[in-house]
Structure 1
């Protein structure tokens, strides 16, 4: 009987070591919907890691940032992408996470690129400015997504709240299908410029991007420190002939604190060693670099990532 118990404990220990220690480790990686920029990034990272034969990356599609940080804290995934603002809110139990316990079981690995807030309508729509959304059916993003949080904050800056729009929590696929058939009038997407789902949509039906006005950009940036002013360049999507002013949010690569620091250090090294492989999918002007990776990150860094940065003479905050 004692031998049986000992065997069971040994197997459990070895299984745990296989997941979080060195060796041929499986890493469950949280992204967003399929055809999202998160999903695209994870695909490149998966190829880079698995080419070395040490780590197996399993991509887990989710509602996005808020779902990812929650899944990291429950142990359902080990790494993910998440918006900087959502990560901070979760870590400090404010904003959408107010009233709950602070989620401290995840940490930063690197800042990757800046996402842009897209407000999309059909080109034949009567909507030309944000205030035209009043009385319309608007997809604000999937429940517990960064898009949803950004949409609410932007609409609030225009004093467009509650009953003034019919807010719908559609995922990317649902939102685009309903925009095409006219069941929704507009949709909010937060993601890297040239989002695959929007590129595909713009090839199916003419679309227009709605700009955010300077007054509201300033208002949002004054209220929420994580935003930056962004411009979606002309030609980012089919038929988009003019640049569009909007707001941006940094995207972070984050990891569970239960991950072995040695594994996270090696994965961080792999990220920068293969930085150029991400360039084709990053928004124009964004690059993965040591300088950009540690700038403006709102939560502490994982000890493994900190080890890598220390080897490059860069100091970062850890808990």
Structure 2
């Protein structure tokens, strides 16, 4: 979010007491924050109470918790596709998806209110508490997460390896390979090995779920929206007579393959990727419902001087993990701009890893197709100044405008392209299974929004938006009601 006005106009300073500011000061901060992040006069803090604080950073940083009731002064729909949405509100209030209640998917009316459990961060400077950045925590107090190095087996120990169970022999062999990659500093080989291992384990897990008769859902990366909504659905769908299981995957392209081949019953994908898969022979794919808009987001450092996709020539660009829809969209955008893959240094780390590498200047740009605001980009924008590049593509994608203030420093709207997130099923999936999923999906939007703010954009009126493949018969019946 753009915090310039907030930081300049509401840089409130408090005496250096251990507890930090009180209720009145917090209410003023939250009101200023709302007016800075959204249109002024849209919200009013009807009530607020301080709920405690957490000190860290050697006593120099303080996170203050509060509970508030926020009143709408005007009608506003936080589930809108082209406005600042629930995710933006969560960022503004220092909350989590679980910390906001009362958002109406059909829009909140003037006079209605939401309940918020939020936070305000402070930093002690010259013995005074100063309002700090609202970006995600970048505390360096967390334990380091560096990888282990493994030593090869000594000559005396090798004689018994053949007597070990097969899976332990593989683990020892894997340790040897990893040790070799670490010794030579071969990050690319380590990344490729990790992706291969994840794929093998995932397919074995899916096979087990299928053999047990579970309702299986393939989602996306564990830090993404597909996975968050999928895990929430897993809990909603499971009961005494049925077990549902959501699986992390590489993303859209792999999910289309899993569903088409009958390895999974349901899956999350991009609408354009599903359409492409159908053309390429994935004739078993059927749409269940569109979910929410997903934009192609191209992120560079603000100090890079890169202003357009055409200027990515000669740069180090991450195109997203293999098997995801990100790579498909990235290549379409690059082709439209006349940028060939041969003219860039390509990597496929994925958004979370790519963001860390952008901070370290190990890459120059990365692509992400997803909801906005995306948590990984919000966190990145709190660490370094970033820029989003406008994008175009010739076919298969829709035009999307990312509103200004979606991310810190984004002071103008960005015109890009995108697609819709889509829930798909195998064409032979039983009607009652599809109905069960849709009834829980549309009947529990508020619960799903606690897992992912993007679920707040799910609505029947948008259920067919951007869908380019045939619907499952049960979905047609349900959506026609």
TM class, shorter-length:
0.7 to 0.9
Q: Write out per-residue CA displacement over residues 71-103 of structure 1, whole angstroms, 9 at most, x where no aligned residue.
A: 11233222111111110111121xxxxxxxx11
Q: Which residue pairs with 1:316 in the alignment?
A: none
Are 2:468 and 1:304 aligned? no
Cα displacement (A) at 1:126: 2.2
CA distance in 2 between partners of 1:74 and 1:271 (Å):
24
Q: How does 1:78-93 map to 2 (within 5 A)?
A: 78-93=265-280
CA distance in 2 between partners of 1:178 and 1:241 (Å):
24
Q: Which residue pairs with 1:32 in the alignment?
A: 220
Q: How does 1:1-319 map to 2 (within 5 A)?
A: 19=213, 26-50=214-238, 55-93=242-280, 102-212=281-391, 217=392, 220=393, 223-224=394-395, 226-279=396-449, 281-282=452-453, 287-310=457-480, 312=481
CA distance in 2 between partners of 1:303 and 1:58 (Å):
23
TM-score, normalised via structure 2 length: 0.53
Unaligned runs of 5+ in 1: 1-14, 20-25, 94-101, 313-319
Q: Which residue pairs with 1:4 in the alignment?
A: none
Q: Is the 8 A contact 1:107 1:256 kept in 2?
A: yes
Q: Deviation above 3 Å: which 4+ runs of structure 1?
A: 15-18, 52-57, 276-284
**Length, aligned pairs only:** 272
Cα displacement (A) at 1:282: 4.7
Structure with the higher helix share, 1 or 2: 1
Cα displacement (A) at 1:153: 0.8
Q: Is the 8 A contact 1:33 1:172 kept in 2?
A: no
Cα displacement (A) at 1:43: 3.1
CA distance in 2 between partners of 1:34 and 1:236 (Å):
23
Q: Write out per-residue CA displacement over residues 49-89 of structure 1, whole angstroms, 9 at most, x where no aligned residue.
A: 34x66543322122211010011123322211111111011
What SS does the corresponding residue of 2:310 show, helix, strand or coil? helix
Q: Is the 8 A contact 1:113 1:251 kept in 2?
A: yes
CA distance in 2 between partners of 1:124 and 1:17 (Å):
53
CA distance in 2 between partners of 1:74 and 1:53 (Å):
28
Q: Higher RCO, 1 or 2 (CA under 8 Å, sep at least 6)?
A: 1
Q: Write out per-residue CA displacement over residues 179-210 of structure 1, whole angstroms, 9 at most, x where no aligned residue.
A: 12111100010001112222222233332211
What SS does the corresponding residue of 2:273 show, helix, strand or coil? helix
What SS does the corresponding residue of 1:230 show, helix, strand or coil? strand
CA distance in 1 between partners of 2:235 and 2:372 (Å):
22
Q: 1:263 to 1:201 in 2, by over 3 A?
A: same
Q: Write out per-residue CA displacement over residues 236-283 of structure 1, whole angstroms, 9 at most, x where no aligned residue.
A: 223333321111211110112343211111211221112344456455
Unaligned runs of 5+ in 2: 1-208
Cα displacement (A) at 1:47: 3.8
Q: Write out per-residue CA displacement over residues 134-155 of structure 1, whole angstroms, 9 at most, x where no aligned residue.
A: 1000001111221111111111
Q: 1:258 to 1:17 in 2, by over 3 A?
A: farther
What SS does the corresponding residue of 1:184 show, helix, strand or coil? coil
What SS does the corresponding residue of 2:419 show, helix, strand or coil? strand
Q: Is the 8 A contact 1:63 1:171 kept in 2?
A: no
- Structure with max Cα Rg: 2
CA distance in 2 between partners of 1:77 and 1:289 (Å):
25
Cα displacement (A) at 1:173: 2.8
Q: 1:274 to 1:54 in 2, by over 3 A?
A: farther
